[in-house]
Amino acid sequence: RKRKVNPKTYTNDLSRMKKHIISRFGNIPIKNITPPMCQDLIDGIVATGKGKTAEEVFSLLNGTFKTAIKHNLIVHNPLDIVIHDKHEREHGKALTIEEEKHLLQTAAEPFKTIFAIMLFTGIRPNEYETVQIIGDMIHANNSKRHGGKREIKRIPITPMLKRYLSSDSEVPKMPIYTIRRVFNSILGNKHVLYDMRTTFYTRCKMCEVAAAARDEFVGHSSGVLGNTYTDLPDDYLIKEGQKLDY
């Protein structure tokens, strides 16, 4: 697992493994773990209202059992007959134009610039620490690439972002929990930090940014063929980024 995911994902997975799986099954030989035991574990997590955690624990267990089968430690996967409803993921709720203005007008520096970067680049909160200004572009690590592969996202400094940032600016650095605290103090419980990514994607659609450029900005995969044969130049991305002006 450690060789297939980025370090932060591995750390989170290890924490879930220890908290939910090893604490329950750590002293039981894997061949003695039964479907009812697994069903009880998953049902218990779901009962606490943590559907996403239940799905993640199910996935970790499934990977463990499949590996055990390949190593001839067990014959059958206990999860094959465990009933598990997939958690419906929420992809965020875009800020309204009024909420966006309120956030940027209320925030003091350096948070005003930080929020502007997040609003007008669509980076994920855990990617902010990797943000760099390279010429007229913002570069950041794409945290959703697997197998240890490093991929850089490129987002132009759009007209909206130019109001707060230039190619000569410094990117303010701040712990993500501090950024989240200030964000919540301004918008309350109406939104979460990730909603700024949803906002950016929504605004790109509103401003008719080409789908290929939009996906490049946010780091969406185009599939194996698309990723292999598509290499959009900076000048094209900058041209499309000019549309983001509202």
pLDDT means per 10 residues, the chain with 246 residues, are: 82 94 96 96 92 92 96 96 74 91 97 97 94 94 70 94 89 94 94 95 96 91 48 93 96
pLDDT of residue 151: 83
pLDDT of residue 206: 95
Own/partner pairs, 87-92, CB within 8 angstroms, 24+ separation: 87/51, 87/52, 87/54, 87/55, 88/51, 89/52, 91/198, 92/192, 92/194, 92/195, 92/197, 92/198
pLDDT of residue 6: 78
pTM of this prediction exceeds 0.85: no
Task: For residue 32, give the amino acid letter.
Answer: N
